[in-house]
A = this chain, B = another copy of it.
Amino acid sequence: MLGILGGMGPMATVDFMRKLVEATPAGRDQDHPGALVLQASDIPDRTRAILDGGPDPLPAMLAGLRRLEAAGATRIAIPCNTAHHWHGALQARTALPILHIVDAVAGKLLDRGYRGGPIGVLATTGTLQAGIYTGRLARHGFTCVAPVDQAAVMRAIRLVKAGGVAEAGATLRDQARGLIAAGCRQVVLACTEIPLALPASDEAFGVALLDATQALAEACVAGTPARLAA
C-alpha cells in the first residue's frame, strides 16, 4: 500500500491525492489501489531549515514515516519538492522504497521527447539552494534555470499556503513567461503549492508547463503492481 507523507502543505497533499485518483483507471471504488495519507502538518518549514538554520524537519518527517510504516505502508511518496532535500536521510532509515519526485519529473521530460537543454524551475528558494533538481536533472543532460525574481516566487508560494491563490497565480505566470523567454522549452512547477495557483493546464502556456505533483502521481500509479496494471 502506498504511504503518502503529506501535509507540506495540506492543500498540496489534497491536490496530489486528486491527481493520484484521476491517474488511476477505475470504474468503481474497488478498482483503486489503497493508499494511506498522513497530513503531517507539524513538520517544520523546509525552506527555513535549508536557508536560515530553522528547526530541522527530519525528526518530524521520520515520525510521520514511522506512522505510515506502522499502518502497513509498503512504499512512500512525498508530495513536497523541498522535503526531498531529506530524501536520502529518510531512505537510509527505512526499508520501504521512497519515490523521488525529481526522477518522476525527469521521466516525464524524457517521455515528452526532451533530451537535455535548459529547463525552468519554479520552486522554493530552499529547493533551488539545496540543488534538489540540479543534480538529478543533470544526469539526463538538462540544465536548471532559476526565475529572474526568485524572491517573488517564494512570496507567491507562501501566499498560496495562506489562501491567496489569485495574486500568487499572477506572479507565477510572470516568472514562468520570463523562463520561456530565456529559452526554456519546459518550466517545471517544482513546488506542490504552485499548481494550486498556476495549473499546468493554463492555456497561455500550451504544453510548456510540467507539473511535478502530476508527475509524481503518475509515477505512483505506474509503479502499482495491481490488477489494474493489465
User: A residues engaging B (CB < 8 A)?
Assistant: 7-11, 13-14, 17-18, 21-22, 24, 26-45, 67-68, 70-72, 158, 161-163
Contact = CB atoms under 8 A, between A and B. Distances in A.
Given A27-B161, A71-B71, A162-B27, A10 B39 contact: no
Contacts of A10: 21, 24, 26, 29, 32
Contact of A70 (B22, B24, B26, B70): B70
Contacts of A161: 27-29
Contacts of A7: 29, 32, 34
A43 B29 contact: yes
Q: How many copies altogether?
A: 2
Contacts of A30: 41-45
Contacts of A158: 28
Contact of A39 (B13, B36, B41): B36
Nearest to A80: B29
